[in-house]
Chains A and B, each alone.
Chain A
Amino acid sequence: MSIFFAILVITAKNPVHSILYLVLTFFTFTVHYILLNAQFLAIVNFIVYMGAILVLFLYTLMLINLNKDSEPVKSNIVKIAAVLGGGCLLVVLVGCLKQVGVASPVLLKDPGLGLVQNLGKVLFNEFLLPFEISSLLLLSAMVGAVLLATKDPKPKSL
């Protein structure tokens, strides 16, 4: 099902439809996380991806509104080459992974593995420094986005 929606994402003509299909794809991913008993990741995926990032996409799409004339289509040769390239990658990866052959089922050894309590203990003990660095990264990304998206107030004065 997520494969079906993912194909629809890249084939939908209208970008708004494409974003909505992406929402459905991420929803199926959230279901996968819940099935893997990773509740923290399911909640984070639901809030961050479906809530924040896709709303950001939709707002950008409405800001630059181009629903009426979708993009100029590529030539057929480029399309065929792109599908061939992606298909070759798929075939090579599947062929390689067939060799691995781990057929054992995903057993849940520790039932509380993906819960918030357990993940929080790991996150704030072993991964404390990367956590702080990622906060710095988010801050700098925010500053950079604001800096890029605002108009230059006096472009000619320098």
Chain B
Amino acid sequence: MESLTNTIKSVPLNHYIMLCTIIFSIGVMGVLLRRNAIIIFMSVELMLNAVNLLLTAFSVYHGDASGQVFVFFIMALAAAEVAVGLAIIVMIYRNTNSVDINVLNRLKW
């Protein structure tokens, strides 16, 4: 564990910011690009994880444990969100026999 903590000392904070920005943008592109509702949910998970990693990096950077507790709460929230979202997807599939979100365009007012 000591060698690991020594290795991490050489990584600047900028690299973490860039990595999380790129992954967040990939998540946004995934939401815009795909039509399968499940893959859209997975892209949302990707975005949440990018934010989690950045929060952890900043928490270590400032030596403050509150950031990591916040990441824990985000994880609990993501679990709840996935459970409800997948239930909604199953219900949509039962009603329309597909998970294509364009079928849902009659939802507008």
Contacts and interface: CB of A to CB of B under 8 A. Distances in A.
B102 to A, nearest CB: 8
A102 B96 CA distance: 51
Nearest to B63: A109
A48 B79 contact: yes
B80 interface: yes
B76 A26 contact: no
B76 A137 contact: yes
Nearest to A88: B25
Interface residues on chain A, size class: 35 or more
Contacts of B46: 6, 9, 22, 25
A77 interface: no
A90 B11 CA distance: 22
Contacts of A41: 52, 56, 68, 71-72
A36 B69 contact: no
Contacts, number: 238
Interface string B1-23: 10011011111111011110111
A35 interface: yes
B84 A144 contact: yes
A105 B11 contact: yes
Contacts of B41: 57
B61 interface: yes
Contact of A45 (B1, B5, B43, B75): B75
B18, B19, B25, B36: which has the most chain A beta carbons within 10 Å?
A: B25
A85 B27 CA distance: 12
Contact of B26 (A6, A19, A63, A94): A6
A158 interface: no
B83 to A, nearest CB: 4
Interface of B: 1, 4-5, 7-14, 16-19, 21-30, 32-36, 38-39, 41-43, 45-46, 49, 52-53, 56-57, 59-61, 63, 65-66, 68-69, 71-73, 75-84, 86-91, 93-94, 98-100
By Cβ-Cβ distance, the 10 closest A-B pairs, closest first, are A86-B29, A141-B80, A82-B32, A10-B30, A109-B63, A90-B25, A148-B87, A145-B87, A149-B87, A145-B83
